[in-house]
Structure 1
Amino acid sequence: MYLDVVIRLSALGVTLSSAPSSSDDMLLKHAIDKVTSHINNQTNLLSVPKGLKEIAIDMVVGEFLLTKKAMGLLDVETLNFEAVVKQIQEGDTNTIFAVEANRTPEAYFDAFILYLQHGNTDFLKYRVLTW
């Protein structure tokens, strides 16, 4: 999943430090572990189902970017949200990014993170009961 997340971040214009023991590398590995554990706990499975792979990747990206922002390691002002579409429809989930002249980059960032985090409704199909 690590390489898939790096590719997704790169597609979003986020470059990572190339050093193997960098803070980006450690934060990314932590985000992968956290999201994997969250999905496993919600579904009661031992691994992330194949059908949740892309959702897991987006969740990791959201977790990684949010952590970097919270730690002061990400300057939201430098991110380019011009390429973000106004509306995204996935199944019954609809996300609308307001396009306003007075909307701040941080507001765009927060809306995008919310979209990346997905809801737990995607997990329902894969959930198993445990005793």
Structure 2
Amino acid sequence: MLEDVKTRLKSLGISVNSKPNSQDEVMLNFCIDKVTNHINNQTNLSEIPQGLHEIAVDMVVGEFLFTKKSMGLLDVSSLDFEAVAKQVQDGDTNVVFAVEANRTPEAHFDAFILYLQHGNTDFIKYRVLTW
């Protein structure tokens, strides 16, 4: 999962120090363990199901970025949110996202983190009852 997380971060324009035992590497491994344990606890499974892999990757990315921001190690103002679409149309279906002109980069970042962290609703399909 570590390589998938690094690829996802790179696709978002965020560089990660990949040297062994670097602060980023240690933080990423901790975030992977945390998200893996969270999903396993919610589903009562010992492994993350394949259908939740991408969600787990996004959750790790969200946790990693949130931690870096909380520690003051991430300059949110340097991130580019201009590429975010305001409107999506497919046939007769039209979705318009609320985009505020005066929204700060930090507000964009916080909304993006919430999106990455997902809710637990994705786990319901995979939940196993235990007695």
Correspondence 1:52-67 to 2 at 5 A: 52-67=52-67
In the other structure, the counterpart of 1:119 is: 119
Asked if the contact 1:36–1:48 (Cα under 8 Å) also holds between the matched residues in 2, the reply is yes
Distance 1:16 1:24 in 2: 6
Distance 2:62 2:128 in 1: 26
Question: Counterpart of 1:102 in structure 2: which amino acid?
Answer: N
Distance 2:78 2:116 in 1: 19
Deviation at 1:20, TM superposition (A): 1.3
Q: Name the stretch that deviates more: 12-21 or 116-125.
A: 12-21
Aligned length: 125
In the other structure, the counterpart of 1:91 is: none
Report the TM-score, using the length of structure 2 for normalisation: 0.90
Asked if the contact 1:69–1:75 (Cα under 8 Å) also holds between the matched residues in 2, the reply is yes
Distance 2:62 2:44 in 1: 23
What SS does the aligned partner of 2:85 have? coil
Q: Which has the larger radius of gyration?
A: 2
CA RMSD across the alignment = 1.7
Change (3 A) 1:107 1:97: farther
Change (3 A) 1:2 1:96: farther
Q: After TM superposition, which residue ranges in structure 1, 4 or more long, deviate above 4 angstroms?
A: none
Correspondence 1:1-131 to 2 at 5 A: 1-86=1-86, 98-131=98-131
Change (3 A) 1:105 1:2: same
Distance 2:57 2:86 in 1: 22
Q: Percent identity over the alignment? A: 70
Report the TM-score, using the length of structure 1 for normalisation: 0.90
Gaps of 5+ in 1: 89-94
Distance 1:43 1:82 in 2: 37
Asked if the contact 1:97–1:111 (Cα under 8 Å) also holds between the matched residues in 2, the reply is no
Change (3 A) 1:40 1:52: same
